[in-house]
Chains A and B, each alone.
Chain A
Amino acid sequence: MGPRNRLLLWLLVGGPIAVFSLWAAFDNTRLYFVTLLNGLTLASLYFIVASGFTLVFGLMRNVNLAHGSLYLLGGYVGYVVAGITGWWVVALAVGFLAAALGGLLMQVLILRHMQGQELRQTMVTIGLSIVIADILLWIFTGQVHQLEAPEWLQGPIRGIPLINAYSAYRLSLLGFGIAIGIGLWWLLNRTRVGMMIRAGVDDRGMLAASGINVNRVFAITFALGAGLAGFGGVIGAVELSMVPGEDTRLLLVSLIVVIVGGMGSVPGAAIGAVILGLAETYGLAYAPTYSVVFTFVILILVLAFRPRGIMGGKG
C-alpha cells in the first residue's frame, strides 16, 4: 500500500474518530475521559488473555478454542485458593499455574500426537472446551462467584482531575497489562527461550534442524499461553465475576483481538486489544443498543481489507 493510500486510510478511519472525540469531549467531558480509561483498562485485560492465544497460534499454528475454558479454570481455581488462604496474590499465582498445568497436559497428552493436523487439533480443543466448561459448571454450579479484590486495591481513588473518582482495581488492570506486556517483550527478546520461540514462529523446520528440542519449546509455549489465560481469569474474576458463559465471551474476545491485531504477533495483540476495548466501552457509553455489533463491524472491515490483521506479517 503506497504512502498516499496509507494516508488516505488514516484519514478515512481517523477522521470520524477525531470529529466524534471533539464533540464528545465538549459535550460531557467527564464521561468521555472516564470511558477512555474504562476502555484502556478493559483492553489490558483483553490483552493479557489474547496474548496467550496469539503466542500459541503464532508458534504452533494451533487455534486453541479451549482458551476460554482455561480462563474460567484459572478464575475458579483462584477463587477457591483466595477463599482458603485469603491472599489474592497467591490466588493469582495459583490460577496462573493451574491453567498452565492444564495447558501443558493438553499439549503433552493430546495435541502433541497430532502435530501437523491443524484442523484435528482445533476440533480437539473445541471438544475439550465443551467438556471443561461442563465439568466446571458441575463443580461450581451456575451461581455467581465474585472474587474480592485485596484491601489495598479496593475502593475508589479520589481526587483525580476531571474524573473525580475511579476504581483503583480497574487502574491496577492497566498496570497488570503493561507489566505483562513488558514481561512478554523481555521474555521473547532477551531470553534464550524467547529466541527459540521467535525462531520457531519464523521457521519451525529450521528450529528442529538446529537440534533444539522442539517439543519442549512447544510445551513451554502452550503452558505459558494457557497460564496467561488463567491469570486473566483471576483478574477478571474480580472485575467481571465468574459465571459460565464467560469462557465463550473471552474466547470470542481473544479471537477478535488476534484477528484484528494479527496472528502470532504480541504487539498486534496489544493494538487489537486497545481497538476492541475502546470500541466496546465507547459503544456501551454512547450507543448501547448496538455496541456489540460495532466490534464485529471492525472485525469485518479488517477482514475485508487486511485479512492478515494489522500487524499480521506471516499469516
Chain B
Amino acid sequence: MSAAQWRRAMSTGLAGAAPRVPVGRTAAPSPAPAADPFAHSDAPRWLKHLWRTLAPRHVFTALLVLIFPFVATPFFTFQVASQSLVLGLIALSLTFLAGYGGMVSLAQMTVAGIAGYTMAVLGTSSSPEISLGWPWWVAVPAAVLLATVCSALIGWLSVRTEGIYTIMITLAIGVAFYYIVLQNYSVFNGFQGLRELKPPTVFGVQWRDPLPFYFLCLFWAGAGYFLVRYVVRAPFGIALQGIRDNPRRMEALGYGVVAHRVAAYALSGLLAAVAGILLAWYNALMTPGSVGTGWLINILVIAVLGGMKHPIGAFLGALVFVLLQTFAIDVIDRERFNLVIGTVFLAIVLFSPDGLLGLWAKLRSRLSPTQAMTSPQRRQP
C-alpha cells in the first residue's frame, strides 16, 4: 500500500474505507459516506445537527425530566429528584476527575462544603455575628470562585506523586477540613454549623419551593453535564485522557502533565462548588456532618455505582443512592443501611467495575447479538 493510500485510509476513519488491497484479492468496495438525509432540507444548520445526533432515548429522557415534576408529589420532586441532581453533580465532578483524568479524589464533597460554608459566611444565616450579610449575587459567585481555587490547590498538593496517592491525600485533606469546621466557632460555628441558608427570591419566585428548586438544580446539572461532555472532546479533555493513560508519553510529547491535572481539578472543583451551593440550599444548613468521612466516601460510592465511563452514570448512581436511602427503612432494617450500600458497592466493583452503566451495556450486547461490535460513534462518550 502506498503512502498516499495509507493517508487516505486514515483520514476517512475507521468506519470508512478499507485500504485498497493489491492484486489477487477482491478488494472490499469502500462504502460511500453515509448519505446525509438532511442534506437537502432547508432547516437551519443547528436543527440539522440536532436531528443527526439525537436518538429517541435522548428525547424521551428530556421529556421525562421536564414533565416529571408536574406529575409527581412535591416530596418526590424535592427530596428524591432534586437531591439526586445535586448529589449527581458532585459525583459528576468526581467522574470527570476519575474517569477521564484517572485521579480518584475523595475531596469533592470537601470542595462542595467549602463553597457552601463560604456562601453561608458571606451571605445570611442563622448566626448574624458570623455572617457578613452580603447580597446573594456577590456571595454566591465569590463562594464558587473560592471553592474552585481551593480545589486547584488540593489538586496541586495531590498530583505531584503517584496516582494511587491521590485517594489517600485527598481523604486526609477532606478529614482535615472536617476537623477545622468542627473545632472553629468564630468562622464556622463549630458543631452546630450555619443554618437557615435560603436561596434568594429572584423574579418573584421562591426558589426553595419544590418546583422552582427542581428546575434550578436541573438547569445546573444539565449545564455541568453538557460542559463535561464538551470538554472531554475538546483538546484539553483529550489531552487529559492521554495523561490518564500514559503520563510519561504525554510529558514527552510536550504536554505539561501537572498543569493539565491541576486544571482538571479546577474544572471539577467548579462543578462541585456549584453543587455545593445547591446542596447548602437544599439542606438549608451547613454542618460538619455534611463534609464528614461518611459523605466523602458516599460520593465515591455514587460515582462508582453509576459507572465512571460516562457522565450520565453519576446521576444514575445518585438516583439509586437517594432512593435506597429514602425508602430503605420501609423495606429493610434501616440500621443495616450501611451494610447494604457497602455490599452493593463491593458487588459493583468486583463484578461490574463500570457500574450500572456497565451492566446495562453488557445486557444490551447480550440481548442484541448482531450488534456485538458496536460502532465507534456509539461507544465513545
Contacts and interface: CB of A to CB of B under 8 A. Distances in A.
Touch between chains A and B, by CB atoms below 8 Å: yes
Contacts of B341: 130
A299 interface: yes
Nearest to A130: B342
Interface string B111-123: 0000000000000
A315 B164 CA distance: 10
6 contacts: A63-B168, A122-B164, A123-B304, A126-B300, A130-B342, A293-B183
B162 A315 contact: yes
A300 B157 contact: yes
A119 interface: yes
A137 B345 CA distance: 19
Interface in B144-175: 157-158, 160-165, 167-169, 171-173, 175
B263 interface: no
A300 B176 contact: yes
B240 interface: no
B297 to A, nearest CB: 6
A134 B164 contact: no
Contact of A130 (B157, B164, B172, B297): B297
B338 interface: yes
Given A119-B163, A123-B300, A315-B162, 7 more contacts: A63-B167, A126-B345, A252-B171, A290-B184, A296-B172, A307-B165, A308-B161
A105 interface: no
A131 interface: yes
Main secondary structure of the interface of B (DSSP, over half): helix
Nearest to B337: A134
Interface of B: 104, 157-158, 160-165, 167-169, 171-173, 175-176, 179-180, 183-184, 293, 297, 300, 304, 335-336, 338-339, 341-343, 345-346, 349-350, 353
Given A252-B172, A255-B168, A256-B172, A124 B350 contact: yes
Contacts, number: 100
Contacts of A131: 339, 342-343, 346
A293 B157 contact: no
Contacts of B300: 123, 126
B157 A303 contact: yes
Given A138-B336, A293-B179, A299 B172 contact: yes
Interface string A119-150: 11011101111110111011000000000000
A65 B167 CA distance: 10
A62 B284 CA distance: 40
Interface string A84-125: 000000000000000000000000001000000011101110
A135 B346 contact: no
Given A123-B304, A124-B346, A131-B346, A248 B293 contact: yes
A130 B338 contact: yes
Given A122-B167, A131-B343, A134-B339, A296 B349 contact: no
B353 A63 contact: no
B335 to A, nearest CB: 8
A259 interface: yes
Contacts of A63: 164, 167-168
A138 B176 CA distance: 29
A293 B183 CA distance: 9
